[in-house]
């Protein structure tokens, strides 16, 4: 069975925008929601997502930073990334990951009240594509 490298997986991720982010509530309930990776797909283990400070996912991440990101791609490619989320509120770091297309959700851009960036540092990546499957530990 053929295996893929992190660079090979990154090529697949470049074509994907939406994933399902899974968090765990303080009471242990799993919560899933679609999230855009904002075109930030030079994947080396880091994923970034803009959201609002008062959202349920922020409460979940504050209580338990372990998350799962699940992608579905072309040609029956499925990717699951588990890792630890960190919340970023620093303006300079927000600017590094901002795209003008995000104004559809954040009308005032980076001046939108309560805007926050979720940084997920992946630790394990699993993939499936037809007869290929594998798991990669992400380091760095």
Instruction: Break the chain into its structural domains and give their ranges.
Output: 6-137
**What integer pLDDT is reported at residue 132 of this predicted model?**
86
Report the percentage of the chain scoring pLDDT > 90.
66
Q: Is the pLDDT of residue 2 over 80?
A: no
**What integer pLDDT is reported at residue 1 of this predicted model?**
41
Q: How many C-beta atoms surround the C-beta of residue 40 within 10 A?
A: 18
**What integer pLDDT is reported at residue 3 of this predicted model?**
73
Tell me the average pLDDT across 22-40.
Answer: 89
**What integer pLDDT is reported at residue 23 of this predicted model?**
98
Worst-scoring range by mean pLDDT, 43-47, 90-94, 110-114, 130-134? Answer: 43-47
Q: Is the pLDDT of residue 43 over 90?
A: no
pLDDT grade, residue 4 (50/70/90)? confident
DSSP E strands: which ranges in 62-112? 66-73, 77-88
pLDDT grade, residue 130 (50/70/90)? confident
From CA 39, how far away is CA 65, in angstroms rounded? 23
Query: CATH number of the domain at 6-137, out of 3.40.50.11610, 3.40.50.150, 2.30.110.10, 1.10.150.530?
Result: 2.30.110.10
Tell me the average pLDDT across 73-100.
Answer: 93
Tell me the average pLDDT across 63-80.
Answer: 93
| Six token digits for residue 66 | 């372990």
Mean pLDDT estimate for the chain: 90
Distance of CA 115 to the CA centre of its chain: 16
Tell me the average pLDDT across 115-126.
Answer: 95
């Amino acid at each position: 069975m053929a295996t893929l490298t992190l660079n090979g997986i990154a090529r697949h991720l470049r074509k994907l925008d939406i994933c399902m982010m899974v968090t765990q509530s303080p009471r242990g309930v799993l919560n899933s929601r679609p999230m855009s990776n904002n075109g930030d797909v030079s994947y080396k283990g880091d994923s970034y997502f803009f959201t609002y400070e008062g959202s349920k996912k922020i409460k979940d991440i504050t209580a338990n930073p372990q998350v799962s990101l699940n992608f579905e791609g072309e040609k029956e490619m499925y990717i699951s990334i588990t890792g630890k989320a960190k919340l970023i509120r620093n303006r300079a770091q927000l600017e590094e990951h901002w795209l003008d297309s995000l104004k559809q959700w954040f009308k005032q851009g980076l001046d939108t009240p309560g805007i926050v960036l979720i940084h997920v540092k992946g630790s394990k990546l699993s993939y499936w594509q037809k007869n290929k499957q594998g798991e990669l530990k992400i380091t760095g």
